[in-house]
Amino acid sequence: MKYYSMFFLRRRTLILKAVLILTALWFMVALLTTNGGARNAIGAPPIEYEDPEAKPLKMAKPSSTKKKSESYGNNLSDAPTRVDWMGRILGREGLGVIAAPGSDNAPGELGKPVVLPANMSEDAKLAVSEGWKKNAFNQYASDLISIKRKLPDPRDEWCKQPGRYLEDLPQTSVVICFHNEAWSVLLRTVHSVIDRSPPHLIKEIILVDDFSDMPHLMQQLDDYMSSLPKVRIVRATRREGLIRARLLGARYVTAPVLTYLDSHCECTEGWLEPLLDRIARNKTTVVCPVIDVIDDNTLEYHYRDSSSVNVGGFDWNLQFNWHPVPANERARHKHTAEPVWSPTMAGGLFAIDKEFFERLGTYDSGFDIWGGENLELSFKSWMCGGTLEIVPCSHVGHIFRKRSPYKWRTGVNVLKKNSVRLAEVWLDDYAKYYYQRVGNDKGESVAHGEIRNVGFDKTCLDSPGHKSNHHKPVGLYPCHRQGGNQYWMYSKNGEIRRDETCLDYSGHDVVLYPCHGAKGNQLWLYDHNTKLIKHGSSEKCMAISRNKDKIVMETCNESENRQMWSMENFNADRLSPELMTE
């Protein structure tokens, strides 16, 4: 009897122990699962980011009377929880930010703009200012947006038709180079590649760290990317610049196609297949997506339809620029969404067959930092058996900065150094036009260089510069003898040119206007003896205003030194006979 009592007592003890052990195991599993989910979830910050001691930033909300609309975009009151969370971390230097995924009305969703309120606290305004200073875009607004935000689908319906692309497409390795990139922007770039690409087409994503020194790009980035099996981080041991950083990344590529992206991009749905399709059909085709604009202030996603696609070109400063698709190129196609040939590419975003890239010699390692590499690769693609295309069915957004936030050694003009190398290697006899532009060769123009006023001999005719400023009045600026905006060419037909634009006068201001070759408003007669520049149709002369603040047109007066100009490198023998003055 005693034996049976002991048996049941031991049995009850074992059952009790088993229950306790199972309860403890269940609790541990639940705890680990909960922590692991919080650590890896896109919408939650890693545990080490939390700081209960951090002082919240009080962020003022916009007036409740202002209605939200498509044009207004998202304001901070749309997501109060996210704003409160942002307030806890914005004051902490170097920490990465991961905004939680939200509804379609959350900041930045569907590509809508984030509009910050005017009555923000001083701390919040300081955070906004610091973000601009470090990144040359509105990091504060970016940090409010989910790193997996939804975007509109900009593709033409033609692009979505079944059977449009080959089924057996090659894999690609995506190389993204960065230096001190903002956390939210870098992660948004990576996740847009992963989330909007067929998984079987992405072999790997190679992040090349060009010697960043911001804390969030060190161990924190390693920890985050460790949860993304296709992402690999390669770190340079010194500052290399974009060109050599891209070459470093190319060494680790294992896929047959190499795709380069900048670190502040967002890929849209269906961006990859159209690019790989063109390369699969012809391995010597270099392809570029349509580059949509992500606003540097509001992060709004702007896109254009296929009928508005541009192609790349360049001026004789060897600077890249955009042009409308030529009529003869449009005539080759039945639909505006078909790939179009492009003389050059912008360079930040493109895909190329790896073997063809190596056959071309990859990038010229003699190029320093950045600048000119896009034209160099464009020229040798066309000159060495390849073609270069813009693919309207592929759209990738890009934040276009108005300045570079990075510091480099002083005393070296890397853009000019690279451009000289580009001209010497690839332009052959055409290099003279580049040297004309930078002032090292006389060329065949009647005059080239600066146009200096005689009355105020330190003042030169200065162009508006960027294409967006064309049609605006030509200005004045102290002569600097550096070419650029003060480099003019006086043609044998009486045009005063800057590349494809000419000085034009129609009765009000002297402006830059696309050259039309019909003389008229663009005909200028320069008398080397009197130094007057007379307008052909109005017979007025160009002058500096009496206030010395602008260009004016006046009745010609040979004794008025405000109307007298010296054209650099003038040679009257090159002028057309009918335009020669006695």
Q: What is the pLDDT of residues 157-198, one digit of tens each?
A: 999 999 999 999 999 999 999 999 999 999 999 999 999 999
Tell whether 547 is covered by a domain.
Answer: yes
- The domain that holds 328 is classified in CATH as 3.90.550.10
> pLDDT value at position 409?
53
131 and 224 co-located in one domain: no
Q: Is residue 13 part of a domain?
A: no
HEC-encoded secondary structure of 99-166: ECCCCCCCCCHHHCCEECCCCCCHHHHHHHHHHHHHHCCCHHHHHCCECCCCCCCCCCHHHHCCCCCC
Distance CA 207, CA 249 (A): 8
The residue segments making up the domain with residue 499 are: 442-579
Angle at 363 between CA 362 and CA 367, to 5 degrees: 160
pLDDT of residue 326: 92
| CATH code of residue 500 | 2.80.10.50
Nearest to 377 by CA among 411, 369, 367, 295: 367
- Distance in angstroms (rounded) separating the CA atoms of residues 210 and 543: 51
Query: Which among 125, 143, 161 is the end of a domain?
Result: 143
Coil, strand or helix: which one is 277?
Answer: helix
3-state secondary structure 335-384: CCCCCEECCECCCCCEEEEHHHHHHCCCCCCCCCCCCCHHHHHHHHHHHC
Long-range Cβ contacts of 219-223 (<8 Å, 24+ apart): 220/46, 220/48, 220/96, 221/96, 221/186, 223/46
Contact 510, 476 (CB under 8 A): no
Is residue 282 domain-resident? yes
Residue 103 lies in a domain: yes
- The type of residue at 313 is G
User: Residue 550 in contact with residue 475, Cβ under 8 Å?
Assistant: yes
Could you tell me if residue 422 is inside a domain? no
Q: How many CB atoms lie within 10 A of CB 21?
A: 10
For residues 175 and 128, membership in a common domain is answered with no
Q: How far apart are CA 120 and CA 126, in angstroms?
A: 10
pLDDT band at 443 (very low <50, low <70, confident <90, very high): low
Structure-block tokens of residue 82: 């996210």
Residues 513 and 572 in one domain: yes
Q: What is the mean pLDDT of residues 449-478?
A: 81
* DSSP 8-state class, residue 582: -
Tens of pLDDT, residue by residue over 104-140, are 889 999 999 999 999 999 999 999 999 999 999 999 9
Last residue of a domain, one of 369, 399, 429: 399
The model scores a pTM over 0.85: no
Are 458 and 390 part of one and the same domain? no
Question: Does the pLDDT of residue 98 top 70, yes or no?
Answer: no
- The pLDDT-based confidence of 519 (bands split at 50, 70, 90) is confident
For 290-307, the pLDDT digits (tens) are 999 999 999 999 998 888
pLDDT of residue 42: 30
Within this chain, do residues 195 and 92 fall inside the same structural domain, yes or no?
no
Residues 81 and 121 reside in one and the same domain: yes
Instruction: Assess if residue 256 is contained within a domain.
Output: yes
What's the number of domains the chain is made of?
A: 3
Residues 120 and 240 in one domain: no
Sheet with 459-462: list strands edge to edge.
Answer: 475-478, 459-462, 451-453, 565-567
Q: By C-alpha distance, which of 41, 292, 270, 267 is closest to 174?
A: 267
Tokens of 393: 């069915």
The first and second tokens of residue 212, run together, are 């960043």
Kindly report which listed range (3-17, 313-327, 329-343, 421-435) carries the lowest average pLDDT score.
3-17
Give yes or no: residues 455 and 350 share one domain: no
Which tokens sit at 483?
């070419």
Q: Rounded mean pLDDT of 323-338?
A: 94
For 62-66, 90-94, 312-316, which range has the lowest pLDDT when averaged over its residues? 62-66
Half-sphere exposure of residue 285, counting CA atoms within 13 Å on the CB side?
Answer: 18
pLDDT tens for each residue of 67-85: 333 333 555 543 333 444 3
- Statement to judge: residues 135 and 231 lie in one domain: no
> Does residue 430 form part of some domain?
no
Same domain, 181 and 137: no
- Is residue 411 situated within a structural domain? no
pLDDT, position 485? 79
Residues 99 and 175 in one domain: no
Q: Are residues 231 and 357 in the same domain?
A: yes
Percent residues over pLDDT 70 in the chain: 76
Question: What pLDDT was estimated at residue 23?
Answer: 52
Kindly report the backbone phi and psi dihedral angles of residue 84, in degrees, each rounded to the nearest multiple of 5, phi listed first: -60, -45
* Per-residue pLDDT at 21: 53
Among residues 373, 399, 425, the one where a domain terminates is: 399
